[in-house]
Structure 1
Amino acid sequence: MKRFCVWFCLLLAGFAGGQPGYADAKRAETAPLRVLLIPADGGTEDGTKADFKPLFDALTRVTGLEFEVTVGQSYSAVIEGMCAGHADIAWFGPVSYMEARDRGCAELLGIEERAGSTHYYAGLFVLASSGIKSVAQLSGRRLALGSSHSASSFAYPLAVLKDGGIDPLTDIRSLRLSESHTQTLMALSSGQVDAAGASLISFERAVNQGGLDASRFRILAKSAPIPNPPLAVSTKLSAALKARLRAALGKLHETPGVKREAIRGYGGKQVDRYITDFDEASLDTAAERIAFINDDFTAALIRKAGKVQD
């Protein structure tokens, strides 16, 4: 009898713990879904977090689900947080999303569409007073880039350099890496570097917040289109819960009672809608453009940035 009871308890445990998504579904009923955001514009709780709070408040109104929104300390921290099971939903950059996706941690939840477009742009910025008129003139100069996990402050500015015939390992005199677009732009503003890579949206936001004087800057070169930063869902959530989230997010723009200004995205800007059936082939195509940035190349750039240079 004792042996039967042990077997029966194990059987029940198997049903509770072994069914995919069971624990996640039960946890979702009793606790908020954990949302983790990349620190695209400085990582402050009153910045990036405030951008997305109206969106998740609207999702709560529609689904009844609660969301706990926090901002990661870095791009890599958000990737690791998702892969370690510490986040149910994450807002990534395109590159960081693909890293988490390829590790089996994340699935696409939705990509914002704004003014009919699902893309944005990065730029290489210089001071307006500088005599730098072309990417080729960055040879022997100082450069600031963002996190190595960022598409628009790292990968795509590097692609712009490559197109301009500049090898950052041999042609750039010194390199600075930071965890936000704002920090790269501030390094340029303060004269610590001669050029900086950042998204055009982040530049606009920094100007609107009063941190930068737009008249002091000039866009030296603009990148190719970059897929908008995705919202992703953890692969550990149940299929039913993922479907529920996608259905609500995809129809949020036409849901009665939801104000359009609540549907926000990158930079806190109002967006038209979220596309939940976005063709990920577009992300893979975009990744091919920056495929030259492999692990060895990135490691070499990080080592270069670690050197003390004038």
Structure 2
Amino acid sequence: MRHAILAVLASIALSFTAPATAQRDGSPKKPLRVLLIPADGGTEDGTKADFQPLFDAMSQSTGLHFEVHTGQSYAAVIESMCTGLAEIAWFGPMSYIEARERGCAELLAMEERDGSATYFAGLFVAADSGIETVSDLAGRDLALGSPHSASSFAYPLAMIADAGLDPIAEVGAIRLTGSHASSLMALRAGKVDAAGASFISYERAVNQGSLDPSRFRVLGKSRPIPNPPLAMHADLPEDLKAALRTAVSSVHETPGINPESIRGYGGKRVDRYVCDIDEGVLDSAARAVAFIDEDFKAALLQKASLQTD
């Protein structure tokens, strides 16, 4: 496979049509730029460390070269993809759909673990808070991550709405922290009564010693959410798209590649990356939180702006 992919690289540079992406072809001097949403705080030794082994393995097995960075925010990753500053991005389900609707992102792959390609969001509270049900969040303060995030924003809000609460009118102060980890740290510091984050981020915080699991508990768990997808720029040449699909979907079974290096969200080992994905599952996930339209988001952002400390 390595020789086959190397063979197409020579022709790829000549077949680019998008000026913004024309300078990157996956060669050693022109590596493909990979940008990751900052799901767990955005540190280079955090989210980047989760995915660097995957792209190192793909480079080893195919000859394609990658330059991996973590974006400063979900919005920054979307903008970078849509302005041609990245060829590959790791998105949340909602941020991928936003980039796709802008015409700049095409689905590449999704991680699969134990036969599942889904994960969960949660609402977390202090163990001694006295908050027993999601409806008890009436008048309570809440930390959420990025407005572009499915599991630290949209799905926690959906759980609150499903409990019969208006997140804008009936929840207390809203603190938008920008990431799962920051929301959990706001909960730990007592700045809020509850935090929305993915279970993967919660488990990571516990494993890293940032949260004492005896002091916190799960208030609510979301319906399944499609795993955050890897996407590629829509204007990449078709032969490079095919090479990327082959590389990521076969890396787990490539001789000489340590299976431990095939990792994904939260640094967890994954079984494989699948490319034959029905995008309908992502669209269905978006419909589940469709009540968060532009008017709703504007009102919630206005409410959050009143939180000054």
Task: Please tell me the TM-score bracket, short chain as reference.
Answer: over 0.9
Which residue matches 1:138? 137
C-alpha deviation, 1:194, in angstroms: 0.6
Name the structure 2 match of 1:307.
306
Once the two structures are TM-superposed, the CA of residue 21 in structure 1 deviates from its matched residue by 6.4
Deviations 1:115-171 (A, max 9, x none): 110000000011001111011111011111110000000000011001101111100
Please list the CA deviations of residues 218-268 of structure 1 after superposition, one character each: whole Å capped at 9, or x if unmatched: 100000000000000001211100100001111111111111111110001
Aligned to 1:195: 194
Q: Does 1:213 align with 2:188?
A: no
Residues 88-123 of structure 1 show CA distances to partners (whole Å, capped at 9, x for unaligned) of 000000000000011101001100001110000000
SS in 2 for 1:136: helix
Q: 1:20 Cα shift?
A: 3.3
What TM-score do you get using the length of structure 1 for normalisation?
0.92
Say which SS state the counterpart of residue 233 (structure 1) adopts.
strand
Contact 1:107 / 1:234 at 8 angstroms: preserved in 2?
yes
Superposition pairs for residues 80-119 of structure 1, below 5 Å?
80-119=79-118
CA deviation string 1:154-189 (max 9, x = no partner): 000011001101111100121100111011111111
How many positions carry a matched residue from both structures? 295
User: How much has 1:27 moved relative to structure 2?
Assistant: 3.2
1:232 matched to which residue of 2?
231
TM-score of the two chains, using structure 2 as the length reference:
0.92
**Does the CA contact (< 8 Å) of 2:37 and 2:70 recur in 1?**
yes
1:32-71 alignment, distance < 5 Å: 32-71=31-70
Structure 1 pair 26–133 and aligned structure 2 pair: CA distance change class (3 A) = closer
How much does 1:24 deviate?
5.2
For residue 260 of structure 2, what is the aligned residue in structure 1?
A: 261
Match of 2:24 in 1: 27
CA distance in 2: counterparts of 1:265 and 1:307, whole angstroms? 36
1:308 CA drift (Å): 3.5
d(CA) in 1 for partners of 2:16 and 2:263?
35
Q: Which residue does the alignment assign to 2:8?
A: none
Mapped contact 1:21–1:238 kept (Cα < 8 A)? no
Pairwise CA distance, 1:63: 1.4
Mapped partners of 1:179, 1:22: distance in 2: 31
Q: Structure 1: 5+ residue runs without aligned partners?
A: 1-15
C-alpha distance in 2 between matches for 1:22 and 1:72: 22
Partner Cα separation in structure 1 for residue 18 and residue 71 of structure 2: 25
SS in 1 for 2:155: helix
- Structure 2 unaligned segments of length 5 or more: list them: 1-12
Runs of 4+ in 1 over 6 A off after TM superposition: 16-19
Match of 2:6 in 1: none
C-alpha distance in 2, partners of 1:162/1:144?
16
Report what 1:4 is aligned to. Answer: none
Corresponding residue of 2:175: 176
What secondary structure, in the 3-state scheme, does the structure 1 residue paired with 2:190 have?
A: coil
Cα RMSD, aligned residues only: 1.7
CA contact (8 A) 1:152 1:198 kept: yes
Larger radius of gyration: 1
Percentage identity across paired residues of the two chains: 64
Counterpart CA distance in 2 for 1:303 and 1:176 is 11
In structure 2, give the amino acid aligned to 1:153: S
Counterpart contact for 2:21–2:84, Cα < 8 Å: no
- Contact residue 34 and residue 69 of structure 2 kept, 8 A: yes
Q: Secondary structure at the match of 1:244?
A: helix
Report the equivalent of 1:222: 221
